[in-house]
Amino acid sequence: MTEPMYMRISEDLRRQIETKELRPGEQLPTELELRQQYDASRNTIRDAIKLLIGNGLVETRPGQGTYVVEKMDPFVTTLSADPGTGAPGGDGGAYLSEVSEQNREAFSSPPQVGIQKAVGLISARLRIPEGTNVISRHQQRFIDGTPWSMQTSFFPMDFVTRGAARLIGADDIQEGMAQYLADALGLKQVGYRDWITVRVPNSAEADFLKIPMDGRVPVFELLRVAFDESGTPLRVTVTIFPTDRNQFIVNVGDVPPPLSLPKEDDQERTG
């Protein structure tokens, strides 16, 4: 009796989904039907479904119903690459190639370029005074037509005056940002630091990523600071990924290639 009703309902529905009693793509009973099945109020049913959404097991479509998510393979971003070699995963340059390796169709919107004053976190990470102008480049990304991530990169303004004019152009930099900064300014990127946090989306993020704006689906915030040989920050990139369809992998040392893409989302009870 100690376990709340919404949790028991959620666990029962989860079991049905994991045992394929409810198949991917299938519609769950409506809230009204579930209310009758479990003899609970509509709000209690909705509390139960919220937990399933947080687990990425179902999605709700207003006006239609609640559906078991198609086992859309989660997109896996590898944060660590062979140091020195190819561009790292998750970064602008490597995005398209990494996606195509997984037999998926990637698309990036043209960059929305702007100039703004660096404040707070951005100025601190770029190590420039608050209020200094910075270039921002914002892109929205899709995989197989599904909105996947939102990325904004920030560069010191003087990169442009020193010769990297394409930074303020609204065109993709095909060769990759690290390569372009090396070519245009002689700045050699030797490493980066990623900082991973989780929070609830703001309304702009929820809107683009097609996730509920009430916080049931959190987002990863990946903040990447790239450095040159002298340890000077070259750029700050913030990427937002919805947690219901994104995962990260970090390889350290010698590791064998993955056997296959993860296909199980099993919740092993580790407690």
Partner DNA sequence: GCAAATTTGTTCGTATGTATT
Partner DNA sequence: CAATACATACGAACAAATTTG
Q: CB of residue 253 vs a second copy: minimum separation in angstroms?
A: 3
CA distances from 14 to 45, 106, 215, 246 (A): 13, 31, 20, 20
CA distances from 20 to 9, 24, 30, 97 (A): 17, 8, 18, 34
Considering only residues 54 to 83 of the shown chain, the ones binding a second copy according to CB under 8 A are: 54-56, 74, 76, 79-81, 83
- Residue from 17, 94, 126, 240 that binds a second copy (CB under 8 A)? 240
Binders of a second copy: how many residues, by CB under 8 A? 78
Considering only residues 40 to 59 of the shown chain, the ones binding DNA according to CB under 7 A are: 40-44, 46-47
Whose Cβ is closer to DNA: residue 63's or residue 84's?
A: 63
Cβ atoms of 239 and 150 within 8 Å: the answer is: yes
Q: What tokens appear for 38 in the block?
A: 């479990």
Instruction: With contacts defined by CB under 8 A, name the span among 19-27, 28-36, 63-71, 190-198 that binds a second copy.
Output: 190-198
- 113 lies in the binding site for a second copy (CB under 8 A): no
Q: CB of residue 27 vs DNA: minimum separation in angstroms?
A: 7
- Residue from 28, 34, 51, 160 that binds a second copy (CB under 8 A)? 51
- Residue from 19, 103, 174, 203 that binds a second copy (CB under 8 A)? 203
Q: What tokens appear for 149 in the block?
A: 């991530």
Q: What is the 3-state secondary structure (H, E, C) of 13-53?
A: HHHHHHCCCCCCCCECCCHHHHHHHHCCCHHHHHHHHHHHH
Considering only residues 62 to 91 of the shown chain, the ones binding DNA according to CB under 7 A are: 62-66
Considering only residues 4 to 23 of the shown chain, the ones binding DNA according to CB under 7 A are: 4-7
Q: CB of residue 52 vs DNA: minimum separation in angstroms?
A: 11
Asked whether the CA dihedral 123, 226, 261, 145 is positive or negative, the reply is positive
To 5 degrees, how large is the angle CA 121–CA 124–CA 126?
Answer: 105
Instruction: With contacts defined by CB under 7 A, name the span among 115-123, 172-180, 185-193, 212-220 that binds DNA.
Output: 212-220
Whose Cβ is closer to DNA: residue 41's or residue 232's?
A: 41
What three-state secondary structure class fits 178?
A: helix
Cβ atoms of 192 and 226 within 8 Å: the answer is: yes
Element (H, E) at 190: strand 189-199
* Residue 58 φ/ψ region, left for φ over 0, alpha for ψ in the -120 to 50 degree band, beta for the rest: beta
- Chain contacts with DNA (rule: CB under 7 A): 4-7, 28, 30-32, 39-44, 46-47, 60-66, 212-214
